[in-house]
A and B are shown apart, each in its own frame.
Chain A
Amino acid sequence: NAGVMQNPRHLVRRRGQEARLRCSPMKGHSHVYWYRQLPEEGLKFMVYLQKENIIDESGMPKERFSAEFPKEGPSILRIQQVVRGDSAAYFCASSPAGRRLMNTEAFFGQGTRLTVV
């Protein structure tokens, strides 16, 4: 787990502000997944990206949410005009390829806990 770095660990935003969550995958990993955990719920898939490509964003809300994974730098999950319902823990996972998320092939970061006040 230590290899996937997410920052910040905690983020507080006022309603209407923008939130930017960063995920640096493990060295050698070119595939990134974002998951969201709402209070008292399981993790829910949001988006799957490869370098410079969004492959599957079927779990992303259509409005206000966007993700990118540029050629250089971390993957960014951006939430515009945050609302209280966006308060959640956001987890990033990386894998060396788009193969099955199993065993040690996929690693989760420690998450970013977003609080909207």
Chain B
Amino acid sequence: DQQVKQNSPSLSVQEGRISILNCDYTNSMFDYFLWYKKYPAEGPTFLISISSIKDKNEDGRFTVFLNKSAKHLSLHIVPSQPGDSAVYFCAASARSNFGNEKLTFGTGTRLTIIP
């Protein structure tokens, strides 16, 4: 039961162009969405987030868009840089029955920026 889906396992983008990573979810109880970046042999690093009451959040080169009706979010990186090459995980948050937050992760998209 994959509640958070990243359908593209990999993506290659030319340096300087826009990278668009997509994520779909099925659980309407999710009310907070996050993107994490992960380099090999390291833990995930928080990148950017968005609350379900918004449809856009921007932080420098990174923008996350949320379409609640379509249960879809995307991460835009512009311009793309070689250091952006990593695996990107989409995650969704909902409160558990115990009151704590529980993150549900997608399977990740490996982004490669071509110099």
A109 x B96 contact (CB < 8 A) = no
CA distance A111 to B38 in the complex (A): 11
Q: Would B107 and A56 count as touching, CB distance under 8 A?
A: no
B63, CB-defined interface residue at 8 Å: no
Bound CA span A59–B99, Å? 15
Interface size, chain A (Cβ < 8 Å): 32
Q: Are B98 and A48 in contact (CB under 8 A)?
A: yes
Q: Total A-B pairs in contact (CB under 8 Å)?
A: 78
- The chain A residue with its CB closest to the CB of B87 is A42
Answer yes or no: A65 CB below 8 A from chain B CBs.
no
**Interface majority SS (helix, strand, loop, mixed), chain A:** loop
| Measured CA separation A8–B16 after assembly (Å) | 39
Q: Which residues of B contact A41 (CB under 8 A)?
A: 107
Which of A11-19, A66-74, A75-83, A98-106 lies at the interface?
A: A98-106
Asked if B102 contacts A110 (CB within 8 A), the reply is: no
A28 vs B99: C-alpha distance when bound (angstroms):
21
Chain B residues whose CB sits within 8 angstroms of the CB of A43 once the complex forms: 44, 89, 91, 103, 105
Any chain A CB within 8 A of the CB of B85? no
Residue of B36, B93, B100 with most chain A CB atoms under a 10 A cut-off? B100
A4 within 8 Å of B (CB atoms)? yes
B43→A102 contact, CB < 8 A: no
| Assembled-state Cα–Cα distance A91/B32 (Å) | 21
User: Does B4 interact with chain A (Cβ within 8 Å)?
Assistant: yes
Query: Chain B residues with Cβ under 8 A from A104's Cβ?
Result: 46
B46 → chain A closest CB, angstroms: 6
Q: What are 20 A-to-B residue pairs whose CB atoms are below 8 Å?
A: A1-B42, A1-B45, A6-B43, A43-B89, A43-B91, A48-B98, A55-B100, A56-B97, A58-B97, A91-B43, A98-B99, A99-B101, A100-B93, A100-B101, A101-B93, A102-B32, A107-B43, A110-B42, A111-B41, A111-B42
- Report which A residues bind B (CB closer than 8 A): 1, 4, 6, 9, 33, 35, 40-45, 48, 55-56, 58-59, 91, 93, 98-104, 106-111
